[in-house]
Structure 1
Amino acid sequence: MKKILLALLCGALFMLTACGSGSKVSGNKEEKKTVKIGITQLVEHPSLDASREGFIAALKDAGYEEGKNLKIDYQNAQGDMNNNMMIAQNLVADQNDLILAITTSSAQAAVKSTKDIPILFTAITDPVGAKLVNSIEQPGGNVTGTSDTHPEAIKKTISSIKEFIPDAKKVGIIYNSGEPNSVVNVENAKKVIKEIGLEAVETTVSTSSEVKQAAESLVGRADVFYIPKDNTVVAALESVIKVANEKKIPTFVGEGDSVKRGTFASYGFEYHDLGYATGKMAVEILEGKKPSDIPVGFPENLELVINKKAAEQEGITLTEEMMKNAKIVGE
């Protein structure tokens, strides 16, 4: 009898201890504590949105779900740098447990605003050059994340211009020189353009409303368009597509999501996967790991993406050879 009473007493003490801890026990499953995550995004376009959605999906798969134990404050700066800085400051003031910054400018604003709250970035071209981390392997401080710069993506995309459009001589590039990520991408693209014997023709914009005029300014001066991973231009990509279709100018781009929207080709990857990888980092941090101990991640898979309908609209004759190793969209 004494043994039975002792066992019951131990069981009661165990339950009291479990109820007093930071997690709740439901059957054999430990519930996650409620966390607050702030998300700052410079502008809306499909690649950045996919990154955010992948991030949230990874959290959900790990047991953090909106409406239950996860509160997300998502704010978009709509391309305005003043809004961008204000959003970062507000997310810090609201004492979020973690901040996700999507794009270089958003990450820089977040880093300037706090040294205490963990910050993750995604869709970043050059995190070291942007002074977000000390190095790829050892980020240091309260910041880490994922870069969207696959080492072979720009080289393969630019090289495919000569393969698919052999008569092309000049490559028209549209970008915002105020975006640090764009400057890096364009410099890398220009090196490859020169290496393969083509000529770069540049035009810059400062807002998305200027993109159509910029594209029109390249008509007659460029044989093909190249649109890098530039948030300002990609946000108004349909303006470039309209000019490209009307003037039959093949359009190559810096990421696969823009091909799905109506440009011709790119060597790209899925931004949802990049965001998902960032979300897995967030789980590690929420469960005790320091950002400084998590190396910066990169896209793993790179594939040629071709839009069949865009090829027709831009006056490109597709061959079986061109399509045999490509992912075909727009059919």
Structure 2
Amino acid sequence: MKKWLQFILIALISIITLAACSSNESSKEAEADDGDDKSSSADGETYKVGATQIVEHPSLDEAYKGFQDALKDADLDVEYDFQSAQGDQNNVSTIAKNFVADDVDLIFGNSTPSALGALQATSDIPIVFTSVTDAVEAGLVDSMDEAGENITGVLDLHPDSIEKTVEFIDKYFEGANVGLIYNAGEQNSVTQIEAVEKAVEGTSLSTSERTVANSSEVQQAATTLVGKADVFYIVTDNTVVSALDSVVGVAKEQGIPLMVGEPDSLARGGFATYGIDYHSIGYRSGEMAAEILAGEKTTKDFPVEHPEDIQLFINKQAAEEQGIDWNDEWDELAEFVEPEE
């Protein structure tokens, strides 16, 4: 009987030992699997981006689309939280603070007010902007040669665009009074208007200005310029551009050529611009964001950039509707924009 008990005891010990070894091996395999999962998770990380713009209009919308396209082309998995301030400055700060509270990985500030709101809300989360005219004057960075501690981006104004637009007006509408409508509360716009005034010096042109506080005042501002302005020039002012149809209506009714600041406003009824493609500046800012999110670079590695190219764009239909005598030189100089249907 003792021998049988001894045999059973030996058998039980063997079984327990084998089970322990098996458990050990399973544990090692599990650890190895965990390591693989972690590697896979890192490769397929999802990033959260807070995207904000002061208002929704075609130019800003196109810049946002370019930004998204760049991140998609970089094969990054991104979740977007898009917030428009609806033209209300009070909303800008709230949106930025919400992004910080949500601990987003990056903020895309699509306009000067939006970029400023983000910078005031955080010094830790990287910020990439575009649709900003003068980043230094706006206080986003100290100089064009060096990015901020957590902010960089791409401007929407080529250094030569306003000067070339004024030269175009001076050449083909000699002696004209140029009507300017803008929101004096947008630093982006003040900078451009100052540049227009400087470019007008020494030409045959003069200017008349009207300021607005919101989009509902734009039509009245345009109407008060009738009889004084020979040409309208609407710079990339977010308030005015969001209500551009009001200016287009006055331009058609009164036969006043409407110069604008970017090609998207041409499709809505503007006549001509020396402008840039907003999709391209959005795309470039998205390329910056992709490298920042992937940990390859930081905002400090990207000095603020100007758009690469400008081009004369003309809407032929708008020229006809605004009673503009066609100049054959424009056939060679311009790229033509089709109006929106």
Alignment TM-score, normalising by the size of structure 2: 0.88
Query: Which residue number corresponds to residue 69 of structure 2?
Result: 57
| TM alignment of 1:41-190, pairs within 5 A | 41-64=53-76, 69-166=77-174, 168-190=175-197
Q: Which runs of 5+ in 2 are unaligned?
A: 1-28
CA distance in 1, matches of 2:92, 2:285: 21
Query: Which residue number corresponds to residue 193 of structure 1?
Result: 200
Structure whose CA Rg is larger: 2
Match of residue 37, structure 1, among 43, 49, 66: 49
CA distance in 2, matches of 1:123, 1:94: 24
Post-superposition offset of 1:194: 2.2
SS in 1 for 2:39: coil
SS in 1 for 2:90: helix
Deviations along 1:22-73, whole A, 9 cap, x unmatched? 646xxxxxx4311100011100111100000000000000112xxxx32100
CA distance in 2, matches of 1:195, 1:302: 24
Post-superposition offset of 1:217: 0.3
Q: Is the 8 Å Cα contact of residues 306 and 323 (structure 1) preserved in structure 2?
A: no
Post-superposition offset of 1:140: 2.8
Query: Which residue number corresponds to residue 19 of structure 1?
Result: 37
Q: Counterpart amino acid of 1:132?
A: L
Deviations along 1:186-238, whole A, 9 cap, x unmatched? 00001112231211100000000000000000000111101011000000000
Q: Is the 8 Å Cα contact of residues 32 and 63 (structure 1) preserved in structure 2?
A: no
Match of residue 285, structure 1, among 288, 292, 314: 292
Q: Is the 8 Å Cα contact of residues 263 and 337 (structure 2) preserved in structure 1?
A: no
Q: Is the 8 Å Cα contact of residues 170 and 204 (structure 2) preserved in structure 1?
A: no
CA distance in 2, matches of 1:270, 1:18: 44
Once structures 1 and 2 are overlaid, which stretch shifts more, 191-200 or 281-290?
Answer: 191-200
CA distance in 2, matches of 1:133, 1:23: 35
Q: Which runs of 5+ in 1 are unaligned?
A: 1-10, 25-30
Aligned length: 311
Query: Which residue number corresponds to residue 228 of structure 2?
Result: 221
Query: Which residue number corresponds to residue 3 of structure 1?
Result: none
- Percent identity over the alignment is 50
Post-superposition offset of 1:15: 6.5
Query: Which residue number corresponds to residue 27 of structure 1?
Result: none
Once structures 1 and 2 are overlaid, which stretch shifts more, 46-55 or 321-330?
Answer: 321-330
SS in 2 for 1:197: coil
Query: Which residue number corresponds to residue 4 of structure 1?
Result: none
CA distance in 2, matches of 1:189, 1:155: 7
CA distance in 1, matches of 2:325, 2:146: 47
Post-superposition offset of 1:156: 0.6
CA distance in 1, matches of 2:314, 2:38: 57
Post-superposition offset of 1:14: 7.5
Structure 1 runs (4+) deviating above 6 angstroms are 11-15
Q: Does 1:266 align with 2:284?
A: no
Post-superposition offset of 1:256: 1.4
Post-superposition offset of 1:135: 1.7
Alignment TM-score, normalising by the size of structure 1: 0.90
Post-superposition offset of 1:111: 0.5
